[in-house]
Amino acid sequence: MSESSPGGPERRARELRRALRHHSYLYYVRNQPEISDERFDELFRELKALEASHAELVTPDSPTQRVGAEPLDAFETIEHTAPMLSLDSSADVEPLERFDERMRRALGDDIGYVVEPKLDGASIELVYESGRLSRAVTRGDGVRGEGVTENIRTIQSVPLRLRTADRDAPPLLALRAEIIMRVGDFEALNARLLESDRPPFANPRNAAAGSLRQLDPRITSARPLDIYVYDILAIDGRPPATQRATLEALREWGLPVNERCRPAADVGEILAFQAEIEDGRDDLEYEIDGIVIKLDDIAARDEVGETSHHPRWAFAFKFPPRKEVTRLLHIFPSVGRTGVVTPIAFMRPVELGGVTVSRANLHNREEVARKDIREGDRVRVQRAGDVIPQVLERIDEPGRERAEPWVMPAECPSCGALLEPRGPYTFCPNLFACPAQLAGRIQHLGSRHALDIEGLGEETANLLVRQGVIGRVPELFELEATKLVELEGFAEKSATNLVRAIAEARTTELARFIYGLGIPEIGVTVARELASHFLSFEAFREAAAAGKAAPAGDEAPAGEEAPAGEALQEVDGIGPLMAEQISAFLARPEVSAVVDELRSCVEPVPPPRAGDTLAGLRIVLTGGLESMSRSEAGKKIEALGAKVTSSVSRQTSYVVAGENPGRKLERAQTLGVEILDEAGLLRLLSDGPGALSPPEDVSAPDEAPEPGAAGDASAPDAP
């Protein structure tokens, strides 16, 4: 059709876009191309020329629009549509067998699994709205990650628009996928980097992750990235009933799915699949480090639920670590951020699974003595989980004279303070004055999950301490660009950018500030729980010190004073030992002084909270809502003190069922959990539970059991 005919350019552009999407689907998903690469390129060039001469025809999901965004200053932090949990894992058969036993105890013997290769790449969330790619977010901490949408758009195997020839696209579809770089592409990329005198990547996973986090999408577009999609995180509408149906739905939407996924009935079939995959591992064109086992039935997954860290319905069965032999050259005591002095083995470089390894963590002085590892020894090295190098054992060399046994020095190699043994570990007590600890604490304070100060990495933190620019942590906020430009590696722009980033960090989220202090036992999740519970740093600090503080608005009964840190145990995930360690750390005079100074520099902002009208409730959302997205609804619910959970149980207070609800609605009906429509949710948010009939307590009967009934502790037969 010519451009001069009615609707010519517009119609031709639609035809070309449709053809290019179809052939991309055949190439990347079905592996059944119908046209040559040259013909595909001809169609692409025609569409590009047509859009160049008719700018009004360009659409955001056009195949020509994969690259074109300007470089970013920084990545935006975005909350996931649903949590991206990690997997429980092991390389031993016994934990796998226990996993299978738990599933059968909970669900009976009539269960099935789907087994898949465990891809070794960078995990990503893809969100499609009305069939169009709207955002892509790195896994991050599992709750929030970095928005890398423009970079993901450059990957040819990622459809910008879902295919709907065989299955309609839902209004919202959030997917979990793995970004990979195939081994051949990785080797070719490293060859190009070496030719241009640039450092190569250590392995395909690092190459994929590094390429994904380029601020300039044009750099990402030049990297040979690929993708496999393997799970639905959230969907508006009824989800597929099984994992096998999920994988088929993903294929029908035009998304690449790994071809080696298959069903398994029991542990025997799982082990057979693992052996088959491991045997052909070196022949695969991509890196894997094990297999993943998932319950096939999606409703059964809801029944077994999940922990705060991992789903109970899935398990990663890892390959045994790769091993090699090398020479241990030197053992050096390294001082970490928390003061732990760790022996580090420096070895003759050896390649393990495509990665060159030259040093390994020896953990503590007792571990070195137990393995009798000395400088000059020949040792067997492995990468645990194909990631962390470790010295497995010493190899005996008859007739070869060995060095003296290694001993931990008496003084800190960084500051000269006398070291203190605590069990098998050794500590430097010079908490903030030790240069190694100071640099580590500065780096931690500026890290991504803390104050997120762009440009304040390990190298910069070490430089600032080594050159005497910073002698105490709070002095970070006194830095001036004029001082920084005098240091090696800093120019006027980089110095100005760092000072500006530090200034912007003076106001931050309360959870970030708590995490950034580097308090023992407090990770990202616990910091977030503490911030939500206490709402101010002062309330948290008082609770750690005296045990009196309670959530905002509550007061301890007059005359009562709990032991130090006891109030911390009211927070999810904090037990007596953790509370004691947090309290002891904050009570140290030198810590208290630094915290006081930091509080004068940084203003921690409490999480948004409208009140506690829904405190204690557990709410599950299913289906689409008209007045707001499910994510927005979840935030409003949590701001009022309730918890939003992903699975229905007897402890669930309400299930909110929107349009096209999934199997969670059926589960709620089976358990007798109260169901709200969208109007009921809005009444709950505005007026609290009093606006509704009280949720049925399905965890206990309304009437006491008759004597002798199961669960009656007073029954004659009770033990």
Q: What is the DSSP string of 56-86?
A: GG--TTSGGGSS-PPPPSSPPEEE-SS----
DSSP 163-230: --SSSPPPSEEEEEEEEE--HHHHHHHHHHHHHTT-PPPSSHHHHHHHHHT-SSHHHHHTS--EEEEE
Match domain 323-396+408-427 to its CATH number in 3.10.20.600, 3.50.30.30, 1.25.40.10, 2.40.50.140. 2.40.50.140
Match domain 79-317 to its CATH number in 3.40.50.150, 3.40.50.720, 3.30.470.30, 3.90.580.10. 3.30.470.30
The continuous run of DSSP H or E covering 250 comes out as helix 243-252
- Give the pLDDT confidence score for residue 70 in this predicted structure: 59
Question: Which are the contacts of 607, defined by CB distance < 8 A and separation ≥ 6?
Answer: 509, 510, 511, 531, 532, 535, 639
Mean pLDDT of 229-245: 94
Q: Categorize the per-residue pLDDT at 6 as very low, low, confident or very high, splitting at 50, 70 and 90.
A: very low
Where are the CATH 2.40.50.140 domain residues in the chain?
323-396+408-427
Neighbour tally for 307: CB within 10 Å: 9
Q: Which CATH class is domain 510-605?
A: mainly alpha
DSSP 695: P
Q: Determine the CATH number of domain 8-65.
A: 1.10.287.610
Mean pLDDT of 406-429: 94
Cα angle value 467/470/474 (rounded, 5°)? 170
Mean pLDDT of 560-581: 75
Mean pLDDT of 613-642: 83
Mean pLDDT of the chain: 84
Q: Categorize the per-residue pLDDT at 229 as very low, low, confident or very high, splitting at 50, 70 and 90.
A: very high
The runs of H, that is alpha helices, within 588-687 are 589-601, 630-639, 663-671, 678-687
- Give the pLDDT confidence score for residue 636 in this predicted structure: 84
The continuous run of DSSP H or E covering 46 comes out as helix 37-53
pLDDT tens track for 275-317: 999 888 878 889 898 999 999 999 999 889 887 778 999 999 9
Strands 643-644 and 603-605: unpaired
- CA-nearest of 476, 183, 517, 212 to 354 is 183
Question: Would you say residue 19 has pLDDT above 90?
Answer: no
Which active-site residues does the annotation give?
A: 118
Where are the CATH 1.10.287.610 domain residues in the chain?
8-65
Where are the CATH 1.10.150.20 domain residues in the chain?
435-505, 510-605
pTM: 0.53
Residue found under tokens 């052939």 = 23
Question: Would you say residue 324 has pLDDT above 60?
Answer: yes
The continuous run of DSSP H or E covering 290 comes out as strand 288-295
Question: Would you say residue 176 has pLDDT above 90?
Answer: yes
pLDDT tens track for 679-716: 899 989 888 887 775 544 433 333 333 333 333 333 33
Dihedral through CA 583, CA 584, CA 587, CA 588, nearest 10?
-150
- Do the beta carbons of residue 642 and residue 618 sit within 8 Å? yes
Instruction: Indicate the burial class of 65 (C-beta count within 10 angstroms; 0-12, 13-18, 19 or more).
Output: middle
- CA-nearest of 471, 478, 477 to 432 is 471
- Give the pLDDT confidence score for residue 388 in this predicted structure: 66
Least confident of 93-97, 143-147, 388-392: 388-392
- Give the pLDDT confidence score for residue 67 in this predicted structure: 60
Q: Categorize the per-residue pLDDT at 546 as very low, low, confident or very high, splitting at 50, 70 and 90.
A: low
Q: Determine the CATH number of domain 618-691.
A: 3.40.50.10190
Least confident of 553-567, 592-606, 617-631: 553-567
* Record: fold of 435-505: DNA polymerase; domain 1 (1.10.150)
Cα distance between residue 81 and residue 144, in whole Å: 9
